[in-house]
Amino acid sequence: MSTFSAPKGTYDLLPPDSAQFLAVREALSAPLQRAGYGYAETPGFEHTKLFSRGVGESTDIVSKEMYTLTTKGGTELALRPEGTASVLRAALEANLHRGGLPVKLWYSGSYYRYERPQAGRYRHFSQVGAEALGAEDPALDAELIILAHDAYRSLGLRNFRILLNSLGDKECRPVYRAALQDYLRRLDLDDETRRRIEINPLRVLDDKREGVQRQLADAPMMRDHLCEGCKAYHEQVRELLRDAEVAFEDDLRLVRGLDYYTRTTFEFVHDGLGSQSAVGGGGRYDGLSQMLGGPELPSVGWALGVDRTVLALRAEGIALDLPRTTEVYAVPLGDQARQVLFRAVTALRREGVAADFAYGGKGLKNAMKSANRSGARFAMVLGERDLAEGIIQVKNLESGEQLPVPLDRVVAEVRAKVG
């Protein structure tokens, strides 16, 4: 046993559980790749100002949860707490926006927030994300929601819901902001929440505390302050989702936890996860590029939690059909047989067959136990007598049937058996 353990609020991904996480990542990204999204990868840390300026000083993410550090050279850096700001920064730096628009990117990685650890909420977590940069089109908003919906469905999930709202734009948001501030200032709130009223009052609507929520019963809603352009835009998104037979619920209080959202905002929630019910979410962020010093670049995106998606699968009792890590297990008996069989295993791997080998000079009994534990369908057993006869014993570990196969045909025949 090691002297060290994983830091509080983090986890290690190891077999066999890691296979499920990999399958979820692949399922979440597959629809994106079919829709023309290219893969992007950014550093695990960025300049702190990227997040304080882009995500927002008033957010819990920046003010309470961000891991920051100062390098020996005095540079202020932060472990990335979310993906959108990093991906947009990378796209702007590479001038991708000067080509054809929209720029469609997807990404996957680990993110870090200093939070109180609990089931479904970690200090280190994994997400798959997607961003469509450079187009103000309700079809893009609908596309991303549909792609996430279809990814969850492909995994077999059924007990999730899509919450949808509009946060308005630079034309109608200021009027709503002022009305909301007037209302909130009259409430009995703590000092920190009162400071938030002046910085970003919409974030108060996202406060989960019961005492705050009770006082928000009659708070003004963005829906009643949307300009005609935002109303028409939002209705087009809703219509496209209905045409695609994607069910959604209008949630007039949905604001999400980041300052950069405008117009469309949405969240995927799963009813089997308790308080940490959000498995993913996103929205439109038309002004973020300019906040980061870039050109006007209306954009939309989402991030889906791999960790919480796995928890949702477990809540629904869904066992994914995972590929076998080993199809064939080779058992050599004797030094000469070991060399010949290792050559056959190498050839099978080069033919695309998942094959493993009984390392360490195990006896037949222990080697066959290892073969069964590996989940292999077939075992290739080679002893000195078999070698003298020019054959390898191929055993079907599921049926128990065992047949001799000539050495010079074993790779082709085993490959055919595996299919």
**Considering all CA atoms of the chain, what is the largest pairwise distance in Å, rounded to the nearest integer?**
93
Do 286 and 382 reside in the same domain of the chain?
no
**Model pLDDT, residue 121:** 85
Angle at 400 between CA 394 and CA 404, to 5 degrees: 25
255 lies in the same domain as 379: no
Q: Which tokens in the block code for residue 207?
A: 């406060």
Distance CA 285, CA 265 (A): 9
For residue 146, being part of any structural domain is answered with yes
Shared domain check, 389 and 242: no
- For residue 205, being part of any structural domain is answered with no
| 25: CATH | 3.30.930.10
Residue 23 shares a structural domain with residue 168: yes
Characterize the bridge pairing of strands 249-250 and 68-70: unpaired
Are residues 265 and 375 both part of a single domain?
Answer: no
- Same structural domain, 53 and 166: yes
Do 359 and 305 share a structural domain?
A: no
Cα-to-chain-centroid distance, residue 294: 27
Instruction: Report the domain count for the chain.
Output: 2
- What range does the domain containing 377 cover? 328-418
Q: Is residue 406 part of a domain?
A: yes
**If you ran DSSP here, which 8-state letter would residue 118 be given?**
B
Tell me which of 280, 315, 350 is where a domain ends.
Answer: 315
Beta bridge partners of 303: 129, 281
Burial 308-326, CB ≥16 within 10 A → b, else e: bbbbbbebbeeeeeeeeeb
Tens-level pLDDT at each residue, the chain (419 residues): 678 999 999 999 999 899 999 999 999 999 999 999 999 999 999 999 999 887 776 677 787 899 999 999 999 999 999 999 999 999 999 999 998 999 999 999 999 999 888 877 899 999 999 999 999 999 999 999 999 999 999 999 999 999 999 999 989 988 988 999 999 999 988 988 888 888 888 888 878 788 888 998 889 988 899 999 999 999 999 999 999 999 999 998 888 766 678 899 999 999 888 877 899 999 999 989 999 999 999 999 999 999 999 999 999 999 999 888 899 999 999 999 999 999 999 999 999 999 999 999 888 999 999 999 999 999 999 999 999 999 999 999 999 999 999 999 999 999 999 98
- Per the domain annotation, does 218 fall within a domain? no
One-letter amino acid at 225 equals H
On whether both 62 and 150 belong to a single domain, the answer is yes
Q: Is the dihedral of CA 74, 75, 76, 78 positive or negative?
A: negative
Q: Is the peptide bond before 220 cis (omega within 30 degrees of 0)?
A: no
In a domain, 401, yes or no: yes
Residue 192 in any domain: the answer is no
DSSP 206: T
For residues 144 and 246, the answer to whether their CB atoms sit within 8 Å is: no
Among 315, 339, 370, give the residue marking a domain's end. Answer: 315
Within this chain, do residues 264 and 401 fall inside the same structural domain, yes or no? Answer: no
Q: What is the CATH number of the domain that holds 414?
A: 3.40.50.800
Does residue 38 lie in a domain region? yes
Domain boundary (272, 293, 315) is at 315
Q: Which residues contact 304 (CB under 8 A, 6 or more apart)?
A: 28, 127, 128, 129, 148, 151, 268, 279, 280
CA angle 222, 224, 228 (to 5 degrees): 95
Same domain, 100 and 147: yes
| CA pair distance 177, 65, nearest whole angstrom | 25
Does 149 share its domain with 292? yes
160 is a domain residue = yes
CA distance 20 to 323: 10
At 268, phi and psi to the nearest 5? -105, 120
406 and 311 assigned to the same domain: no
Contact 306, 297 (CB under 8 A): no
> Which residue in 404, 376, 409 sits closest to 389, CA to CA?
404
